[in-house]
């Protein structure tokens, strides 16, 4: 799949250096403008990177994004489906490691950004994917992970249709703040082994959306799942099996009050039942996930 020019030539044509106060002056900022680039080697992004179209990291490529980098996606909707066409597709390696003081930001380039301005950060059969201290906003999906192994920690997914979405993965998701999305966490399990813990999943329309093919293997425990506008958990039309979410904070420790926020067998007899055993009596300190790093997948 060659959807654009090789990155090396695009880089030479479009890399600009904006400097205030001379070449060695303070406040220097790199601006890289790319049109559907294809990455086939080791590449490093820093400063501000503006993407139009699909940026692809091929199987042999490795993209490293440095702390403080802003990746800005142009709002393009060529097919008129209401979802932006710009995206970052990773088939090779992605190392996006920000810091608390200098997170990496993936965002919309629109003057008045909205959900689905750009498509997604898409990890598809990726060889390696590590994200930490990342902010992903105004996308259709803040991140989608499929058919690969990934670790996503200490990050923020906000103002998206889907905050985090996955299927058929080996995934650790910990210490993240997932808020103000249509769906905070959306997944089709399909044999996934996922450990989702110490996350704050709050103020989404639906906190967790289990679409289909869930065999109750994903471990979702020790999270704060609160403030959902519609349902804390919703089962999709073909999710006939039960889903168990033990030891989470739901804003209440009353089992009946917690169960009343689930869309499951109680609303539609064709669906399974959401079970929330041992609900916590108080919120989880999400930064405490660092004490459990020995429990990684």
Question: Cα separation of 272 and 120, whole Å?
Answer: 30
On whether the CB atoms of residues 284 and 223 are closer than 8 A, the answer is yes
Say yes or no to pLDDT of 24 above 90. no
- Amino acid 4: pLDDT: 45
DSSP-based three-state secondary structure for 127:
coil
Q: Residue 191: which pLDDT band, with cuts at 50, 70 and 90?
A: confident
Say yes or no to pLDDT of 18 above 70. no
- Amino acid 93: pLDDT: 98
- Amino acid 182: pLDDT: 98
On whether the CB atoms of residues 87 and 122 are closer than 8 A, the answer is yes
Residues linked to residue 30 through DSSP beta bridges, in sequence order: 17
Residues linked to residue 56 through DSSP beta bridges, in sequence order: 38, 89
Say yes or no to pLDDT of 26 above 90. no
């997944």: which residue's tokens? Answer: 187
Convert the pLDDT of each residue in 208-247 to its tens digit. Answer: 999 998 899 999 999 999 999 999 999 999 899 999 999 9
Convert the pLDDT of each residue in 105-133 to its tens digit. Answer: 999 999 999 999 999 999 999 999 999 99
Say yes or no to pLDDT of 8 above 90. no
Cα 124 from chain centre: 13
Q: Which has the minimum average pLDDT: 24-38, 61-75, 225-239, 254-268?
A: 24-38
Angle at 100 between CA 11 and CA 221, to 5 degrees: 110
Question: Cα separation of 121 and 55, whole Å?
Answer: 10
Say yes or no to pLDDT of 297 above 60. no
**Average pLDDT, rounded, for the chain:** 90
Q: Is the dihedral of CA 194, 195, 199, 204 positive or negative?
A: positive
Cα 269 from chain centre: 32
Question: Cα separation of 253 and 79, whole Å?
Answer: 47
């Amino acid at each position: 799949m060659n959807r654009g020019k090789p990155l090396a030539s695009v880089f030479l044509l479009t890399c600009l250096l904006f400097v205030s106060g001379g070449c060695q002056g303070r406040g220097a900022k790199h601006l890289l403008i790319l049109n559907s680039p294809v990455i086939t080697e080791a590449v490093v992004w820093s400063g501000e990177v503006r993407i139009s179209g699909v940026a692809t990291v091929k199987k042999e490529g490795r993209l490293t994004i440095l702390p403080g980098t802003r990746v800005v996606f142009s709002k393009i909707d060529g097919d008129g489906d209401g979802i932006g066409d710009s995206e970052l597709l990773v088939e090779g390696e992605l190392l996006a490691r920000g810091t608390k003081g200098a997170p990496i930001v993936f965002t919309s380039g629109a003057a008045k950004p909205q959900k689905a301005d750009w498509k997604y950060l898409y990890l598809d059969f990726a060889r390696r994917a590590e994200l930490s201290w990342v902010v992903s906003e105004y996308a259709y999906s803040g991140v989608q992970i499929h058919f690969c192994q990934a670790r996503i920690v200490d990050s923020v997914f906000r103002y998206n249709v889907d905050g985090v979405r996955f299927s058929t993965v080996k995934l650790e998701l910990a210490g993240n703040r997932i808020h103000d999305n249509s769906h905070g966490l959306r997944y089709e399990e399909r044999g996934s082994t996922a450990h989702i813990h110490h996350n704050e999943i709050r103020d989404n329309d639906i906190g967790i959306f289990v679409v289909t093919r869930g065999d109750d293997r994903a471990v979702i425990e020790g999270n704060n799942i609160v403030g959902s506008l519609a349902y804390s958990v919703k089962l999709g039309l073909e999710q006939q099996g039960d889903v168990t979410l033990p030891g989470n904070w739901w804003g209440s420790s009353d089992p009946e009050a917690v169960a009343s926020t689930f869309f499951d067998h109680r609303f539609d007899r064709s669906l399974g039942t959401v079970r929330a055993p041992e609900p916590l009596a108080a919120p989880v300190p999400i930064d405490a996930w660092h004490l459990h790093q020995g429990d990684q997948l």
